[in-house]
Amino acid sequence: MKNQRNKITFLKKIFLFLFFCFVNSIIFAQDCKDIVQRAEIAYKKGHLNDVKEILTDECINVLPLKEEKERAYYLLVLSNLYLKDLEAAKVMMLKILHQNPEYVCDPTSPVAFQKFYNSFKSTPFIILGAKIGGNFSQIQSTKIYSLDDFKTSQNGTFQSLPGINMQASAMIPIYKKFELVLEVGFKQYNYSFKNRQFDYSSILFKERQNLIEMPVLAKYNFGNNYNFKIRYKNFWQSLNPYVIAGVSATYLLSSKSTIQREDKLVNSSISINSPEFNTKSMRNAFSFYAVGGVGLDYKKGRAIFSIEGRYHYGFSPIIKSNARYDNQEMLLTYGYVDSDIKFRNLMVTIGYAIPIYRPKQMREFFADEIGDKK
């Protein structure tokens, strides 16, 4: 019985404490409700120290709108500037830029604020993004192999089939309009090979490769996604055409192949379809490419949307020459032998990216640049 009374007493205390905190928070929020308006009035009267007393961190933090917080920090920057407290003004300006790294200075702002704002730099130190799209493999055959004679083997044709690709990217601004682009992604190559041999047999070979791709690229921007001197951009000012160039390496995760064979006899035909073969051991694990492409960024708010086309020029042989004849079932049952090939690849993607900022003051600002408050 005594333990039960203790529990009830404890619960009452918890309830009263929570109720007190709730009421206190409501009272505090009401006290902070009109701080921006009160600070505006104090600033216009020239009571700069009153502005600092009104706009406390505790009250600013409970403001519901980002615009209100931004205005509060703006008034604190101005007040500290005219009070010649440059260190405090710097702290408040960085709070504006951390909250809104793409803050655009109003041209009607006091000259002192505009000069102080221009001593800061707010450009991204990295842009993180993701892309998804499709690709078409273009096959360059360097040497055709066949179980038939050489002349017949040259009739074989390769066909590109669509594949998918997904990438995660990190873009690092390095100099003016140049960026270093580092990516890692998943890529799928698909192609088919069709040939007729022995005057009666036709084969259709299909292969699907899944790969990890790791491009390293340089990007040159013709536009500027991070020009915050223009307060209101139209559609065309939000576009950024660019070109990219670099190298890429791929690592083979899997290679699956199927074969369809049809033999046409005098009065009949025989068709056989293979099971899915695991041909990874017959392929080279690494391949290397030169990459070039063009794209277009569209910036909306903080987000960057893009569309891009790339061409990959492969240097590496895809087939392991010493493993060409390893799969006896492919050879003897279906009449297929790998030819020497290299991949070329056309890729189209759409993307989404977000810049990550690290605002900082780029030059020292001096008190004599401020002038008098008017």
Residues 184 and 288 grouped into a single domain: yes
**Domain that residue 51 falls in:** 32-120
Residues 211 and 297 grouped into a single domain: yes
Tokens of 85: 């407290």
Residues 82 and 137 grouped into a single domain: no
Residues 93 and 186 grouped into a single domain: no
Q: Is position 364 within any domain?
A: no
Q: Is position 330 within any domain?
A: yes
Residues 165 and 299 grouped into a single domain: yes
What pairs with residue 201 in β-bridges?
197, 263
**Residue 181: its pLDDT value, please?**
96
Confidence of residue 306 (pLDDT cuts 50, 70, 90): very high
**Inter-residue contact 214 to 187 (CB < 8 Å):** no
**Inter-residue contact 92 to 76 (CB < 8 Å):** yes
> What mean pLDDT do residues 254-259 have?
95
Last residue of a domain, one of 120, 146, 172: 120
> What mean pLDDT do residues 283-307 have?
94
Residues 65 and 191 grouped into a single domain: no
Domain count, the chain: 2
Last residue of a domain, one of 70, 86, 120: 120
Q: Is position 26 within any domain?
A: no
Res 235 pLDDT > 90: no
Range scoring the smallest mean pLDDT among 280-284, 332-336, 353-357:
332-336
Confidence of residue 22 (pLDDT cuts 50, 70, 90): very low
Confidence of residue 71 (pLDDT cuts 50, 70, 90): very high
Residues 286 and 160 grouped into a single domain: yes
Residues 100 and 154 grouped into a single domain: no
Residues 44 and 171 grouped into a single domain: no
Q: What is the dihedral of CA 357, 362, 367, 370, to 10 degrees?
A: -60
Res 50 pLDDT > 70: yes
User: If we measure between CA atoms, which residue out of 260, 283, 297 comes closest to residue 338?
Assistant: 283
Res 21 pLDDT > 50: no
**Residue 107: its pLDDT value, please?**
86
**Inter-residue contact 48 to 79 (CB < 8 Å):** yes
Residues 182 and 168 grouped into a single domain: yes
Res 153 pLDDT > 50: yes
**Residue 150: its pLDDT value, please?**
60
Distance CA 91, CA 24 (A): 29
| Beta carbons within 10 angstroms of residue 142's beta carbon | 11
Distance CA 197, CA 149 (A): 8
Residues 112 and 258 grouped into a single domain: no
Last residue of a domain, one of 120, 142, 157: 120
More confident residue, 221 or 9: 221
**Residue 23: its pLDDT value, please?**
38
Q: Is position 3 within any domain?
A: no
Confidence of residue 61 (pLDDT cuts 50, 70, 90): confident
Q: Is position 236 within any domain?
A: yes
Q: Is position 367 within any domain?
A: no
Q: Is position 25 within any domain?
A: no
CATH code assigned at 253: 2.40.160.20
Residues 74 and 202 grouped into a single domain: no
Q: Is position 1 within any domain?
A: no
More confident residue, 224 or 323: 323
Confidence of residue 25 (pLDDT cuts 50, 70, 90): very low
> What mean pLDDT do residues 196-222 have?
92
